[in-house]
Structure 1
C-alpha cells in the first residue's frame, strides 16, 4: 500500500520527487530528445503541461517521432520513480507516504 501509494503520487506529480531525482530525469530525457522541460527550473505552466502530456496522453493516439518521444519520457519517469522508491528505507518511505497523504 505504501509503495504503490508513493509511486502513484510521484507519477501523477513528479515535482514531489527529490531534486536530485528530478535532475536525473532531466539529464536522461535530454539524452533521448531535445524537447525537454526542466522540472526544477522550467516555467511552472510549461512544467505542468509537460507532466500532463507525459502522464495522461493516450499514446495510441500519437504517431511517429512524437509517440516514440513520449514513450521514452514515460519510461524514464517510471524508472526514476522506481529507483527513488527502491532506495528508501522503510521508515523514510512511511514518513514520505504520511507527508503526502495526511
Structure 2
C-alpha cells in the first residue's frame, strides 16, 4: 500500500517492528498530507474488503528537511516520531470515553 501510494523516486522502508519511513523527495508537508490521504484511503478500502477481527490503522508524524538546517536523518526521524506521538495523543483525546 505504501509503495503504491508514492512516486517511483520516493522511498519507503521498514524502520523496525511496525514502523515505516517514507522519504518523499522535494515534498512539502502539504504534499505529504496528500500522500497520507492516499495511503489512508487504501487502508480503508482494504479494511472494508477484508473481513478480519481487526482493522489496520496507521499513526504518522512528519518532518521536513531544509538544506539550511543542520538536521541529519536521525534528527528528522526523531522529529517525525515526536510528531506521531502528538497525533496519537490528539486522537486519544478525541475518542469518546465509555
- TM-score with structure 2 setting the length: 0.33
Larger radius of gyration: 2
The structure where helix makes up a greater share of residues is: 1
TM-score (norm 1): 0.32
Larger RCO: Structure 1 or Structure 2 (Cα < 8 Å, ≥ 6 residues apart)? 1
